[in-house]
Amino acid sequence: AQSVTQLGSHVSVSEGALVLLRCNYSSSVPPYLFWYVQYPNQGLQLLLKYTSAATLVKGINGFEAEFKKSETSFHLTKPSAHMSDAAEYFCAVYTGTASKLTFGTGTRLQVTL
Amino acid sequence: DVKVTQSSRYLVKRTGEKVFLECVQDMDHENMFWYRQDPGLGLRLIYFSYDVKMKEKGDIPEGYSVSREKKERFSLILESASTNQTSMYLCASTTRTSGSSQFFGPGTRLTVL
């Protein structure tokens, strides 16, 4: 079965600092991997998606993620954090059936001045 | 842009009441999903539907049922609400294409007293 593990339920960075949110996956099929963001009191919004075309995936709002098969990782990064990046971030993997996704438990990003 | 709407943003109900949560999407997507989101647990799949009148149980279907009479509409029903069903409920939709992104509604925060 496919699964994802997000390391760190809370991450705090200073404004302007590097953002690194970690995601490791387990998949018995070639994985499709996703990062979603949830701002307070809103639904989830797709940040980026890996579908085997390129290992470095660029998303919205300056985020990117690198697929590393040898490490079974798909970490999300942004070079310089902005206050507006404060949100909860979810990593997800396609389960292989019926467009279902399995989500990680989420990482809440706090950005401080 | 895909739009997924949910009938209520906030809902307060009493134990034992029958509760209907409605979700409508406007992109002719075949697949629709209901999740509940709880702190520290991420998103857990309750039910999904891959066609009109078709439904399948997700990971936590107990205490819930669903209805899909029209392609654009997917309803979640709590037959007899209980306090442990207090949660954020998220609806999503997507196409049948393998690995396709899910599009989410804004969520309904349900409180059962």
Nearest to B104 among A43, A49, A104 (CB): A43
pLDDT tens for chain B, 113 residues long, are 669 999 999 999 999 999 999 999 999 999 999 999 999 899 999 999 999 999 999 999 999 999 999 999 999 999 999 999 999 999 999 988 877 899 999 999 999 99
CB atoms within 10 A of CB A6: 22
At residue B105, the pLDDT reads 96
Nearest to B40 among A43, A94, A105 (CB): A105
B-chain residue closest to A31, CA distance: B99
At residue B1, the pLDDT reads 67
Residue of B24, B37, B43 to mutate when probing chain A, most A C-beta within 10 A = B43
Contact B35, B89 (CB under 8 A): yes
Beta-carbon contacts below 8 Å between A and B: 60
Cβ distance of B40 and A98 shorter than 8 Å? no
In whole angstroms, what is the distance from residue A51 CA to residue A61 CA?
20
The separation between the first and the last C-alpha atoms of chain B, rounded to the nearest angstrom, is 37
Instruction: Kindly state the average pLDDT of the residues A20-35.
Output: 90
Cβ distance of B100 and A99 shorter than 8 Å? yes
Cβ distance of A100 and B45 shorter than 8 Å? yes
Nearest Cα to Cα of residue B32 among B95, B110, B79: B95
Q: How many CA atoms lie within 13 A of A43 on its CB side?
A: 23
In whole angstroms, what is the distance from residue A96 CA to residue B43 CA?
18
- As given in the structure block, the two tokens for residue A51 are 């579908």
Mean pLDDT, chain A, integer: 93
Alpha-carbon gap: B14 to the closest alpha carbon of chain A (Å): 22
Cβ distance of A99 and B99 shorter than 8 Å? yes
Given a cut of 80, whether residue A53 has pLDDT beyond it is no
Q: What is the rounded (10 degree) CA torsion for B52, A36, B84, B112?
A: -80
Cβ distance of A99 and B4 shorter than 8 Å? no
Contacts of residues A82-86 at CB distance under 8 Å and 24 or more positions apart, as own/partner, are A82/A15, A82/A111, A83/A15, A83/A111, A83/A113, A85/A19, A85/A61, A85/A109, A85/A111, A86/A110, A86/A111
Contact A38, A90 (CB under 8 A): yes
Instruction: Kindly state the average pLDDT of the residues A45-56.
Output: 90
